[in-house]
Amino acid sequence: MKQTNFLILFFLTFLFIPELFAQQKYTLSGTIRDAATGETLIGATVKLQNADHTFGKAANDYGFYSLSGEGGEYTMTVSYAGYLTYRKQISLVGDLKINVGLDPANSLQEVVISAKDRRNDNVKSAQMGLEKLNMRDLDNVPVLFGEKDVLKTIQLMPGVKSGGEGNTGFFVRGGAADQNLILLDEATVYNSSHLLGFFSTFNSDAIKDVSLYKGGMPAQFGGRLSSVLDVKMQDGNSKEFGVEGGIGLIASRIKVEGPIIKDKASFMVSARRTYIDLLLKASSDSSINSNTLNFYDINAKVNYRFDDKNTLFLSGYFGQDNIGIKDLFANDWGNTTATVRLNHVFNSKLFSNTSFIFNKYHYAIELLDKDNNARVTSLIRDFNLKEDLQYFTNQHVFRFGAQATHHRIAPSDITTTGNSSINPLSVENRYGLEMAGYVSDEWKLNNKLELLYGVRISSFSLLGPGTIRTYDAGGDIVDSYDAKRGSFVKTYVYAEPRFSASYSLNEENSVKASYNRNTQNIHILTNANTSSPTDQYVMSSNNIKPEISDQVAMGYFKNAKDNTYEFSAEIYYKWLQNQIDYKNGAELIANAEVESELLYGKGRAYGLELYLKKTKGKLTGWVSYTLAKTERQFDGLNGGNYFPAKQDRTHDLSLVGIYNFSSRWTFSANYVYSTGNAVTYPAGKYSTGGLTTYYYTERNANRMPYTSRLDISATLKARETKKYQSSWSFGLYNALNRKNPYAITFRDSKQDPTRTEAVQTSLFGIIPSVTYNFKF
Amino acid sequence: MKRLIYLSILFVGFLVWSSCEKVIDVKLDTAPNQMVIEGNITDQNEAQLIKISQSVPYTDQNVFPAVKGAKVTVTDDVGHLWTFEEREPGSYTSVPFKGISGRTYSLKVDVSNTQYTGISIMPKRVHLDSLSLKVFTFGGKDVKQLQVHYNDPAAEVNQYRWVMKINNVQTKRVFVGNDRFTNGNNVAELLYYSKDDDNKELLSGDEVQVEMQCIDKAIYNYWFTLSEQTKNGPGGGVTPGNPPSNINHNALGYFSAHTTEKVSYKVK
């Protein structure tokens, strides 16, 4: 009922859009690009100003903007962080189209300009819970092995917790790792890690923009409970040909980009590969040099501008990890994505994007031992069709669209050769269809109040064919039948309201509030804290209900000293329903009846996030602090009481400082402190089967020791020539060489076997790195 | 198979990063001592043994107090009853008898005003064929591992537990398996044994004895859960919990009716 009211209200708003009846309104539209490379600038601000009026809008994901206002003389300004502001006198006496090229500021100018131009965006916009990663900061934040990485840098933001030391897995506002929707050019990246999590699948050379939505999720996004990490690839330089790359300790990268037809078509190809195994190959020992351990990935994108109204983008990603031990074992896994997009500008106010997306994640494990040989493969793949429309008016940006995604999960296929102990096995495929329609409105009511509200109607259907079993709470089959191909086995439909509002107290202070509901139908069953290559994916079904979260958040946003300082404080509370865990001793791999092993429960998460950023001056950087709690409750676990989730950490503090010492030297440091993870320690011990065994009482009631780490780096720019730029980055990870806890094990003491001791394993001590980057 | 996945993760860890270990002090809650019952009925004509003890705080020595004065009986589903006598403190034994495959055995323990009960079905016996040595070359070094060979019967679901003793000392790893992937086959199961567990590698000249037990589903779950509990923390595996006991009233331990067969092997 409530939802119906909401919808009626929503459509009424549409009917009575005031400006439909207003007179003499004209529209200014166009595309904002980097003048040097032709890359579109996402979120660049366009403003029109005269004595009577000031209004502005941000460019959309494709650099397109549209502004409507009363006819007259205006000063048009276009600004974007890191670029020189563009100013022009215009007379809006009819619909106008102006495409703008912004000149990048050099590093010193940037310091002066960046802040001024994004003036109070963070304060004014209704969007909250959004973290935008500045790709330039990424170059300077010190990281493990010197491999700059968007996922590791995003972990330094408030409300985002690292999945473990050096790990790219992350948790947002108490959500699980599988509750993050990770998009690369709109394609879902199911497993975003390389080398068991120490590197992410995102090669930062190829990336233009990274946004993380922790809350206040806009209606165009859905399908995961906790966050959306929206990563966009570069389009490729449409002005001139260029090569850049880097040589590091672990991996090297190269990127080639350039125009195919100047200002009309361009391409970008970026590739990366590790070479640990090349070092192994250098060994003369055949048992070492025939092992494999590597990953590589390739990002590629081509775009073609037919005319000002139509642009086609093709983009793709392919990545693969390989691990192998001679004659024993081989494991490979990777993601493949492909996105075809067509931008069409219907008119100066209506912008459309149509996307067709393919993505796949697969893994294969091969046991090479003759007696026990087997090859186990598993995959999840999606076909996804999306239509997204944006309609720009004076006070509103309406956004509406529809999506349909077809999923296929092939849980496990086992094949063997010769005389293996292991039998061939194929767990039947599961098919699913996700559909969604959404409408939203970004509404500037007046100078003070801005709203972003909408609704997403989402549905999920489990499709046949397949053997459909229903289990009772004990995991026993109560019903079983064979569903026909294409039949709808089970369908869930949800309305997901999304709402956020900002109220500006004055130019530099605002308060914001948001509420959003999200649902999720693809779930990962995992033992580990973060993603592992052999994660098992399951869909919602007759047994598994969609996960649901409701989040409310409030925040206070402040800018000071002409945007030199940006401050925000947000609090949130999240209710989670239909959370999934599994019984003790559950067998997850290659189990057709895996749904019989599951437990369902609920969760809650709440916290406070503080963020202070200094955006200009010689010293820039930020401090982020999170105070949080996240708990789960399952009938079959911990006596039915709430217990801390594995990722529950009370305090998380990150400090990042970047000091531009001179035009050649940049120094940077980051420091992180976090409370230890929630773990279950034994409450006693006893003997069973001749072994000392531990007795456990409350789940996750104990804490690992805290983590504290300082990383530093220095970047030296070599003297530039017209043709060639290069720089050296030197880094020290864990500069204080603190032994941070990675795991705690209990065992009989080696000195005195009658005693038990707790042993802490640490991964990384101090690790130096050096990287050489070049561009020509 | 799982063991090999585990192995690979170890390998990566070992190869790329030399992690370091240190003994730390942890603050632990101490629960009151719990009742621990370990009951075994084998298919050998021998005095069967039920042990009753208590858990102790983590900081104590590994000396587990015997529970004395319990009344222990075992019955089967064809009307036999055996009364167990306390021969040593906490150790209750019967007159020699032989468990029969397919029969259901019920344990009854009366102690400190509680009656603990549990049942277990003795599975069919699967013959342990032989043991063999498997040598892996790991980073230029030979690592010796033992394999157990048996012929899994196709007609039924089988669960196994192996107890390995090296020079008469039981290894600390729990070996457990079922025929989910190997039904009806000639199986060569690797009893993966690492230096981490026992501070000792398998060396030439070592006398190894492997006992193979055929166990029922509940007992398999018990040992399987126990085998999964390794490390704690982001780098660790499963959140540990108490293995599901087939004895009621929250007793720790198990009651297992199983077949048993032992084979010895001298490492070459």
Is pLDDT of A616 > 70?
Answer: yes
Chosen for mutation from B3, B62, B186 (greatest number of chain A CBs closer than 10 Å) is B62
Cα distances from A124 to residues A145, A328, A626, B42, in angstroms, run 39, 59, 23, 76
- Give me the amino acid identity at B8: S
Exposure b/e, A685-705, CB count within 10 A at least 16 = b: bbbbbeebbbbbbbbbbbbbb
* Angstrom distance (rounded) from CA A559 to CA A57: 20
- Displacement of CA B41 from its chain's centroid (Å): 14
- In CATH, the architecture of B2-10+124-241+259-266 is Sandwich (2.60)
Question: ipTM exceeding 0.85?
Answer: yes
- The pLDDT assigned to A324 comes to 85
Phi, psi of A19 (to 5 degrees): -70, -10
Q: Confirm if B18 and A329 have CB atoms less than 8 A apart.
A: no
| A218-227, A583-592, A628-637, range with the lowest pLDDT | A583-592
Chain B residues lying within 8 Å of A760, measured CB to CB: 21-24
A689 vs B122, higher pLDDT: B122
User: For strand A96-97 and strand A25-34, is the pairing parallel, antiparallel, or unpaired?
Assistant: parallel
- Give the mean model confidence (pLDDT) for residues A678-684: 89
DSSP A236: -
Q: B19 touching A, CB under 8 A?
A: yes
**B4: contact with A, CB 8 A cutoff:** yes
Query: Does residue A465 have a cis bond before it (omega within 30 degrees)?
Result: yes
CA distance A740 to chain B (A): 10
- Give me the half-sphere count of Cα atoms (radius 13 Å) on the Cβ side of residue A652: 29
- Residues 6+ away with beta carbon under 8 Å from A530: A163, A164, A167, A168, A169, A177, A193, A197, B234
pLDDT confidence tier of residue A8, bands split at 50, 70 and 90: low
Task: For residue B263, give both structure tokens.
Answer: 């084979």
Q: Do B58 and A756 touch (CB under 8 A)?
A: yes
Query: In terms of CA atoms, which chain B residue is nearest residue A534?
Result: B5
Q: Which residues of A204-227 are buried (b: 16+ CB within 10 A; e: fewer)?
A: bbbbbbbbbbbbbbbbbbbbbbbb
Helices (H), A613-730: none
For the record, the structure tokens of B31 come out as: 């629960």
**A225 pLDDT more than 90:** yes
Query: Cα dihedral sign for B238, B242, B248, B250?
Result: negative
Distance from CA of B22 to the nearest CA of A (A): 5
What's the CA gap between A406 and A521, in Å, rounded? 12
Tell me what pLDDT residue B14 has.
46
Q: Which residues pair with B256 in a beta bridge?
A: B40
pLDDT of residue B2: 46
Contacts of A506 (CB under 8 A, 6+ apart): none
Question: pLDDT tens across A64-103, in order?
Answer: 999 998 889 999 999 888 888 899 999 999 999 999 999 9
Nearest to B172 among A691, A755, A764 (CB): A691
Asked whether the beta carbons of A32 and A78 are under 8 A apart, the reply is yes
Are B236 and A744 in contact (CB < 8 Å)? yes
Q: Which pLDDT does position A137 carry in this prediction?
A: 79
Q: What is the mean pLDDT of residues A260-287?
A: 82
Residue B111 has pLDDT above 70, yes or no: yes
Q: How many CB atoms lie within 10 A of CB B204?
A: 9
Among A376, A375, A370, CA closest to A420: A370
| Model pLDDT for residues A538-580, shown as the tens digit of each residue | 999 999 999 999 999 999 999 998 888 999 999 999 999 999 9
* Extended beta strands in A368-429, E state: 374-392, 396-415, 425-427
| Interchain contact B9–A (C-beta under 8 A) | yes
Region of poorest pLDDT, from A151-160, A461-470, A758-767? A758-767
Is A697 close to B31, i.e. CB distance below 8 A? yes
CA distance A219 to A217: 6
Check CB contact under 8 Å for B58 and A746: yes
pLDDT band at A6 (very low <50, low <70, confident <90, very high): low
For residue A641, the one-letter residue type is: N
Return the number of other C-beta atoms located less than 10 Å from residue A93's C-beta: 11
Tokens of A506: 């004055």
**Nearest residue on chain A to B173, alpha-carbon basis:** A691
Same fold, B2-10+124-241+259-266 and B35-121: yes
Asked if pLDDT for residue A21 goes beyond 80, the answer is no
Nearest CB to A680: which of B186, B199, B240?
A: B240
Q: What is the pLDDT of residue B121?
A: 97
Nearest by CB to residue B21, choosing from A367, A680, A759, is: A759
CA distance A414 to A416: 7
CA distance A81 to A34: 12
Q: How far is CA B71 from CA A460, B83, B246, B247, B255, in A?
A: 58, 8, 19, 15, 16
Which residues, other chains included, contact A176 with Cβ-Cβ below 8 Å and sequence gap of 6+?
Answer: A226, A524, A579, A645, A647
Query: Which positions in chain A touch B53 (Cβ < 8 Å)?
Result: 686-687
Provide, as residue numbers in chain A, all residues whose Cβ is less than 8 Å from the Cβ of B8. 323, 325, 329, 331
d(CA A727, CA A132): 25
Q: Which domains does chain A have, with CATH numbers?
A: 2-119 (2.60.40.1120), 130-229 (2.170.130.10), 230-775 (2.40.170.20)
CB A709 within 8 A of CB A654: no
Q: Which of B12, B26, B63 sits opposite A323 (nearest CB)?
A: B12
Query: Distances in Å between the alpha carbon of A695 and those of A681, A683, B55, B196?
Result: 9, 6, 8, 21
B195 by Cβ neighbours in 10 Å (0-12 / 13-18 / 19+) ranks as exposed
End-to-end C-alpha distance for chain B, whole angstroms: 25
Instruction: Determine the topology of domain B35-121 in CATH.
Output: Immunoglobulin-like (2.60.40)
> Is B214 a residue whose pLDDT tops 50?
yes
What is the gyration radius of the CA atoms in chain A, in angstroms? Answer: 27
**CA distance to A289, A331, A703, B1, per residue, from A328 (Å):** 14, 11, 37, 11
For the ranges A14-28, A482-496, A665-679, A756-770, the lowest mean pLDDT is seen at A14-28
pLDDT tier for residue A139 given thresholds of 50, 70 and 90:
confident
Does B132 have pLDDT greater than 90? Answer: yes
CA distance B229 to chain A (A): 9
Q: Are A684 and A694 in contact (CB under 8 A)?
A: yes
Say yes or no for a CB contact (<8 Å) between A686 and B54: yes
Q: Chain B closest CA to A665's CA: distance in Å? A: 31
Confidence (pLDDT) at B13: 46
Percent of chain B residues past pLDDT 70, beyond the cut: 87
Q: Looking at residues A708-721, what average pLDDT do you find? A: 90
Of B148, B26, B83, B217, the residue nearest A587 (C-alpha): B217
**A634, A761, A767: which to substitute to probe chain B, counting the most B Cβ within 10 Å?**
A761
pLDDT score at A533: 77
Backbone torsion region of residue A753, taken as left when φ is above 0, otherwise alpha when ψ lies between -120 and 50, otherwise beta: alpha
Nearest neighbour of A293 by CB, restricted to B12, B58, B239? B12
Out of A196-200, A261-265, A392-396, A548-552, give the one with best mean pLDDT.
A548-552
Nearest partner of B266 among B200, B221, B202, judged by Cα: B202
Is the pLDDT reported for residue A144 higher than 90?
no
List the beta bridge partners of residue A362: A334, A379
Chain B: closest CA distance from residue A695 (Å): 6
Is residue A19 packed enough to be buried (19+ CB in 10 Å), middle (13-18) or exposed (0-12)? middle
Q: Give the pLDDT confidence score for residue A196 in this predicted structure.
A: 72
With contacts defined as CB-CB under 8 Å, which chain A residues touch B224?
A: 585
For chain B, the domains span 2-10+124-241+259-266, 35-121
Nearest CA in chain B to A676: B233
Of A589, A689, A744, the CB nearest to B232: A744
* Residue of B207, B211, B192, B204 whose CA lies nearest to B265: B207
Locate the DSSP E strands across A326-369: 329-345, 350-367
* pLDDT tier at A106, thresholds 50, 70, 90: low
Q: Which amino acid is at A509?
A: N
- List all residues 6 or more positions away from A281 whose beta carbon is below 8 Å from its beta carbon: A289
**Average pLDDT over chain A, rounded to an integer:** 89
Span B144-163, average pLDDT: 95
User: Could you tell me if B1 lies within 8 Å of chain A, comparing CB atoms?
Assistant: yes
Residue A57 has pLDDT above 60, yes or no: yes
The pLDDT score that the predictor gives to residue A111 is: 40
Specify the amino acid at residue A238: S
Residue B78 touches chain A, beta carbons under 8 Å: no
Q: Measure CB to CB from residue A683 to each of B30, B170, B234 and give the nearest one.
A: B30
- Strands of A521-563, DSSP E: 522-525, 536-539, 547-560
Nearest to B181 among A422, A584, A683 (CB): A422
| SS3 (DSSP) at A635 | coil
Q: Which of B8, B59, B235 sits opposite A325 (nearest CB)?
A: B8
Confidence band for A198, pLDDT divided at 50, 70 and 90? confident
Q: Report how far residue A620's alpha carbon sits from residue A668's, in angstroms, rounded to the nearest whole number.
A: 9
Q: Please state the φ and ψ torsions of residue A214, each to the nearest 5 degrees.
A: -95, -20
A154: three-class secondary structure by DSSP: helix
Q: Which residue of B has its CA nearest to A425?
A: B181
Residue type at position B113? N
Residues of B with Cβ-Cβ distance to A748 under 8 angstroms: 62, 172
Cβ of B11 under 8 Å from any chain A Cβ? yes
Which two three-digit tokens encode residue A308? Answer: 């000002």
Chain B residues within an 8 Å CB radius of A413: none
Q: Average pLDDT in the A525-543 region? A: 80
Q: How far is B28 from chain A (nearest CA, A)?
A: 6
Contact partners, residue A306, CB within 8 Å, separation at least 6: A312
Longest dimension (CA), chain A: 90
Nearest beta carbon to residue B17 from set A425, A748, A764: A764
Q: Name the amino acid, one letter, at B246.
A: N
